[in-house]
Chain A
Amino acid sequence: MAASTTFDIRQITGRFVLEGASHVGRLTYFMADTIRGLSEVRIWWPRMLEEAWNIGAGSLFIVLLISAFAGAVTALQTGYQFTGSIPYYVVGTLVVSSIILELGPVLTALILAGRIGARYAAELGTMRVTEQIDALESLGRSPASHLVIPRVLAGLIMIPALTILANLSGIASGWISVKAVLPVTDADFIYGAQYYWRPWDAYYSVIKAFFFAGSITIISCYMGFNTQQGAEGVGKSTTTAVVASSVLILVLDTVLTRLLLNQ
């Protein structure tokens, strides 16, 4: 019994290591292909503009809505925790910092991991299992410059842009909401927001969004490209893409906070 358990563990570990190494190898090839395809600007540029429009126009409403709710909840919870011994202007600081440093970029990225990541993985996965990617290759065309680069670059441009808008929406919503629970004036809120304001916070927010955009687009395109076994495979790739990019967003959030804020 003990022997068979040991064997199973070795087998599971071996499979895990082999699968991990295989993913690393394939991801390296995938990235090398993608970088090589960058020279074909004439191919990816028009497709990138189309993708950027799809991401921006398609995601704007949901991103603004969710960040507005996040801003409102932050403001209402701040109101609940206020004991009266803390100056009211601090509310402005709390709402602005919470939104810009954490909620804006992270919530936007998690929403877009579901929305864009799932779409990219499902689109490319379906193209893989219906041989459309093979067809592109058979025509002597690079799938990287036709399919991957436009999606990755569109994400790298639009996700940080959406994050900036999400930050503004969250702050505006928090500002309006806090006045419903605390006797905070506009002047108090603006004073608090400016008192602890560091321009670096805004850069930090955009830098985080940029890294999150990379993880969402690269993982979802990679998973879609490596889809196997028909409709079931497309479902599996889509789920894996969303879960993996969501986890990576949270890991990157921790790492970037440590690297960029705690020096």
Chain B
Amino acid sequence: MIELHGVHKRFGKQVVLNGVDFEVREGETVALMGPSGTGKSVLLKTVIGLIRPDSGTIIVDGKNVNRLKRKELSALRSNIGYVFQNGALFDSMTVFENVRLGITDEDKYRDLEYCRQRIAECIRLVNLPADTIEKYPAQLSGGMRKRVGIARAIAGSPKYLLYDEPTSGLDPVNADIIDGLVQRLDDELGVTSVMVTHDVRGAFRVADRLALLSDGRIVMQGTPREFLDSTNPKVREFLERDFDNPSFAA
């Protein structure tokens, strides 16, 4: 379970998170939505301890992330797969080496035969051709890089998956492929997922519950049905951009 209580974060004079309360239950997929630049990625990074909040509490699996010692934080992180917005693949390494780094158990990481099998499995799970493992990130398309990023995140069999804008910058066809992949991985692997996105259509398709971040606070959390029925002006404003889009209705 992931819990955030009263999380504040500012960069200089800019207040990014202004008392965020947010909760993700075991086994569910939550889409954290909001317009660009509202601090969704910052919020996700605080969960994994990449950004320290100015105040507030972040609890993952009953552990307060900001009070963990270095080794404890490393152990917690090895239980969380993080998919970066632009893949964040190591460009001097092949796909094989990139995904291998996701195998966080050091003994398994050293076992080359295990790594070969696990990497092939992860590459298959994200629907990439088997020969992709020999390529470098620069030889891949944007959609393929995102899928390799997902393969790396799942390689260590994490309990949680955090997706930072997995479909941003992709054409609708590739965005649909990634959405479908997220949904399938959640079903097949049984992980607890948080997906940061400003793509309402994808969020409705993938998530069990939705949350809307605006002006540094969570404006609403609820099921897709509750969001559709909401009369909150900020929720309506955010959703209606996509309701007017014929592709959403489809």
Complex alpha-carbon distance, A242 and B106, angstroms: 36
Shortest distance in angstroms between A184's beta carbon and chain B's nearest beta carbon?
50
Query: Chain A binding site: helix, strand, loop or mixed by DSSP?
Result: helix
Chain A residues with Cβ below 8 Å from B45 are: 134
Q: Which of B31-39, B85-93, B117-125, B213-221 contacts A (4 or more CB under 8 A)?
A: B85-93
Supposing A131-B86, A132-B88 touch, asked if A137 and B101 sit within 8 A by C-beta, the answer is no
Which of B80, B86, B91, B106 is the one whose CB lies under 8 Å from A138?
Answer: B80
Chain B residues with Cβ below 8 Å from A139 are: 77-78, 82, 101-102, 104, 152, 156
Within 8 A of B (CB), among A93-136: 127, 130-132, 134-136
Chain A residues with Cβ below 8 Å from B88 are: 130-132, 134-135
Within 8 A of A (CB), among B44-59: 45, 48, 50
Complex alpha-carbon distance, A42 and B110, angstroms: 10
Complex alpha-carbon distance, A139 and B73, angstroms: 10
Complex alpha-carbon distance, A15 and B152, angstroms: 42
Supposing A138-B48, A140-B104 touch, asked if A130 and B86 sit within 8 A by C-beta, the answer is yes
Residue of B nearest to A133 (CB): B88
Chain B residues with Cβ below 8 Å from A36 are: 70
Q: What's the interface size class on B, roughly?
A: 20 to 34
**A141 located at the interface, meaning its Cβ lies under 8 Å from any Cβ of chain B in the complex:** yes
A134 touches B50 (CB 8 A): yes
Within 8 A of A (CB), among B205-242: none
Chain B residues with Cβ below 8 Å from A134 are: 45, 50, 84, 88
Chain A residues with Cβ below 8 Å from B75 are: 140
A132 touches B104 (CB 8 A): no
Complex alpha-carbon distance, A139 and B237, angstroms: 37
Complex alpha-carbon distance, A134 and B49, angstroms: 10
**B64 located at the interface, meaning its Cβ lies under 8 Å from any Cβ of chain A in the complex:** no
Complex alpha-carbon distance, A131 and B48, angstroms: 14
Chain A residues with Cβ below 8 Å from B74 are: 140-142
Which of B78, B80, B84 is the one whose CB lies under 8 Å from A135?
Answer: B84
Chain B residues with Cβ below 8 Å from A42 are: 106
Shortest distance in angstroms between B64's beta carbon and chain A's nearest beta carbon?
17
A132 touches B90 (CB 8 A): yes
B84 touches A131 (CB 8 A): yes
Shortest distance in angstroms between A123's beta carbon and chain B's nearest beta carbon?
8
Residue of A nearest to B93 (CB): A132
Complex alpha-carbon distance, A130 and B145, angstroms: 13
Digit string of A197-211 for contact with B (CB within 8 Å is 1, else 0)? 000000000000000
Chain A residues with Cβ below 8 Å from B48 are: 138
Shortest distance in angstroms between B49's beta carbon and chain A's nearest beta carbon?
8
Residue of A nearest to B85 (CB): A131
Q: Which residues of A contact B (CB under 8 A)?
A: 36, 42, 127, 130-132, 134-142
18 contacts between A and B (CB under 8 A): A130-B91, A131-B84, A132-B89, A132-B91, A134-B45, A135-B88, A135-B152, A136-B101, A137-B77, A138-B48, A138-B80, A138-B82, A138-B84, A139-B77, A139-B82, A139-B102, A139-B156, A140-B104
